[in-house]
Amino acid sequence: MLMTAFGGLMWLLFTAMLVLAVVALVMAALYRRDAYTAADKQNKGFWLIILGITVAVNLFVPMLFLQLAGLVATIVFFVDVRPALKHVSGSGWGRRRGSSSDGPYGPYNGGR
């Protein structure tokens, strides 16, 4: 019974690593090629190859060491590369557009 629970936990962890790698691969593919050089990171092809290998390893090669190496690459992409790309691209969830006096329908001028 304990081995079955452990096997289920390991399957859940491997699935989570696969999902993270696929999400990172899709995000890496969506950014423009010049954003990588502007952010002073490795080029887009490098990250697509690394994250693609990570997805392939998670799908086809059940070796924990290789999967953990891919997880490290995925975490580096999410923690270091993606924020730099978002900063360079000017996109992000927390960014405000316009000035601080803008209302929902445009600038508020106080009835002037």
Q: Report the SS3 class of residue 33.
A: helix
Distance CA 79, CA 8 (A): 28
Q: Which amino acid is at 63?
A: M
**pLDDT of 108:** 64
Q: Residue 94 has what pLDDT?
A: 40
Q: Average pLDDT across each block of 10 residues of the chain; the chain has 112 residues. List them in order.
A: 79 93 96 91 95 96 90 96 90 52 63 58
Residue 14 CB neighbours (<10 A): 15
Q: Which amino acid is at 39?
A: A
